Structure 1
Amino acid sequence: MKKQFIILILSVIIALLPIFSSQTSAASTSIEKQLSLLKGGISQVVIVTTPKIKSRTAVVTLYQKQNGVWKKAYGDMHGLVGKNGISSVKKEGDGKTPKGVFSLTTSFGTDPMPTGTKIPYKRVNKNFYWVDDVKSKDYNKMIYYRGNPNNKWNSYERLTHRLYSHAIVVNYNTNPIVKGKGSAIFLHTRDGSTKYTLGCVAMYKGHVKMLLQKLDPKLKPHIIISESGKVNSTIKHFAGLQK
C-alpha cells in the first residue's frame, strides 16, 4: 500500500514538471518578450527596477535589440531613486521618481562630454537653470539666464549642482508640460554620501558616462522605471499608448 502511495505521488510530480518548467522559462524571458511589444523603432532601453514601490534603491540594466532580438547589453548597475520611492502619479515636490516609460534624447553636465557620446550633450555653467516654479512659463525647461534668478523665478535648480557632472534628461512631463506634475527628472551622477534623490535616478559617475557613450539616438533610447515585479505591466501600458 505504501509503495503504491509513493508511486502515485511520483506520478503527480512528474505530471506537474512540464507546467513548472514552462512557468520558469516564461519568467526568465518575460522582459525580452515584453520589450518586443515596443513600437516606433525603439531598440535600446535602460530598465530601472526597485524592489518595492517605496524603495530607494534600484537595479539599472541596459537592453538593446540585436538582429531583431532583445538582449541584455550591460548590467546590473546599482542605482538610487526618490526618497519616497516611485509613482505613476507624480507631483511636484513629492520626492518620488516617475514610474513609466520615457524617451532619452538629450543630456548635459558640468564636465566635458565623454568621448564617443552620440546623444546631444550641453556643457552647462552658472547661467544654466532648470525651472520648477509651477507659476512660470519656463516650468520644466532648461533656461540660460545671466540675470538674478530670484527676480525671475520662485523656484529653480542650478545645473552646476555637484551631482550634475553628467546627466541624461528623462523626458517626463515634457509633451505637453503639465504644471505641478513634476519637473527636472534626470539620470545623473551620485557619490558615496548619496542615499536617495528627490525624484531622479542616480548612479555612480562611471556608469552614467558609460550610458552616455552607449546611447544611440538612431536606436531611439528610452528608460523604463518600475518595481521589479511590475515591469511587464509597465511596458504593456506604454505599448498600449503608442500609436
Structure 2
Amino acid sequence: MIFTATPDGFLDLGDGRRVRCALGRSGVTPAADKREGDGYSPAGVWPIRKVLYRPDKGPPPQTELPMAAIAKADGWCDAPGDPAYNRPVTLPYPASAERMWRDEDDVYDVVVVLGHNDDPVEDAMGSCIFLHLRKPGYLPTEGCVAVAPEDMAAFLAAAKPGDAVEIRL
C-alpha cells in the first residue's frame, strides 16, 4: 500500500480516511531538487524502512513493521560530505547529526524512517526524511511528514512491510 501525503496537508491512511499532516516549511519539491537544509519535503514514493520509538514513553507501537527502540546516544548524520551522511550514528558524533532522543518535544517519540536518499546516499540531497509526530498546531517540519499521535497509531496499525509513503507535489 502507498500512503499519500498531499501538499494541502493531508495524509491518506488507505482506508478512505484522510488525516491532517504537516510538511516541510518550504513546501514540497521534486526529489531531484531537494538539498540538505532547504526545508522542503521531497516529492516521490519513499519505502518504509523501519519504526523507531522511545521506550521510556510507553510500550512499543502496534505494527507489523520492523522496529527498534531509540537510545539516548542515537543520532542521524545530516552533515554533507561526512561518510555517515543520512545514516544513523552514535552521539556525540564529530559531524552534525540530528539527535533522535529529544527532551524538548515529543516529535521523535515515534519515527517512521522513509527510504529517501538512502540507496545509494547522494551527498547533500537531503537526510532525515521521516514520518514523525507533529508539533502543536501542525507547525511545518524541516522536510518530513508529521501527524498527530492518534493518526500515527492508525498509520502503524495499517502499514505492512513493503509499504511506502508518497509525498505529492
TM-score (norm 2): 0.89
List runs of 5+ in structure 1 lacking aligned partners: 1-43, 52-57, 64-72, 228-243
Q: Distance in 1 between matches of 2:16 and 2:49?
A: 19
Aligned-pair identity in percent equals: 27
The question of whether the paired residues in 1 share the 8 Å contact of 2:21 and 2:138 is answered with no
**1:58-115 deviations in Å (ceiling 9; x for gaps):** 111023xxxxxxxxx1421000100000111110000000001111121102143213
Structure 1 residue 157 and structure 2 residue 93: aligned?
no
Q: Which has the higher helix share?
A: 1
Cα gap change, 1:74/1:126 in structure 2, threshold over 3 Å: closer, same or farther?
farther
- Name which of 61, 80, 102 aligns with 1:114: 61
Q: Distance in 1 between matches of 2:135 and 2:120?
A: 33
Q: Distance in 2 between matches of 1:91 and 1:223?
A: 19
Query: How much does 1:158 deviate?
Result: 0.5
Aligned to 1:239: none
The question of whether the paired residues in 2 share the 8 Å contact of 1:187 and 1:200 is answered with yes
Q: Distance in 1 between matches of 2:139 and 2:49?
A: 27
Q: SS state of the match for residue 80, structure 1?
A: coil
The question of whether the paired residues in 1 share the 8 Å contact of 2:64 and 2:160 is answered with yes
List runs of 5+ in structure 2 lacking aligned partners: none
The question of whether the paired residues in 2 share the 8 Å contact of 1:167 and 1:208 is answered with no
Aligned to 1:196: 140
TM-score (norm 1): 0.63
Query: How much does 1:206 deviate?
Result: 1.0
Aligned length: 161
Q: SS state of the match for residue 81, structure 1?
A: coil
The question of whether the paired residues in 2 share the 8 Å contact of 1:166 and 1:209 is answered with no
- Name which of 50, 62, 83 aligns with 1:137: 83
4+ aligned runs moved over 6 Å, structure 1: none
| Equivalent AA in structure 1 for residue 120 of structure 2 | P
The question of whether the paired residues in 1 share the 8 Å contact of 2:13 and 2:154 is answered with no
After the TM superposition, which residues 195-214 of structure 1 pair with which residues of structure 2 at under 5 Å, given as runs?
Answer: 195-214=139-158
Larger Rg: 1 or 2?
1
Q: SS state of the match for residue 136, structure 2?
A: coil
| Equivalent AA in structure 2 for residue 138 of structure 1 | A
**1:114-156 deviations in Å (ceiling 9; x for gaps):** 13x110111102110000011211100112x26x33xx21x11
Q: Distance in 1 between matches of 2:135 and 2:143?
A: 16
Q: SS state of the match for residue 21, structure 2?
A: strand
Relative contact order, higher structure (CA 8 A, sep 6+):
2
After the TM superposition, which residues 95-114 of structure 1 pair with which residues of structure 2 at under 5 Å, given as runs?
Answer: 95-110=39-54, 111=57, 112-114=59-61
- Name which of 74, 84, 88 aligns with 1:128: 74
Query: How much does 1:203 deviate?
Result: 0.4
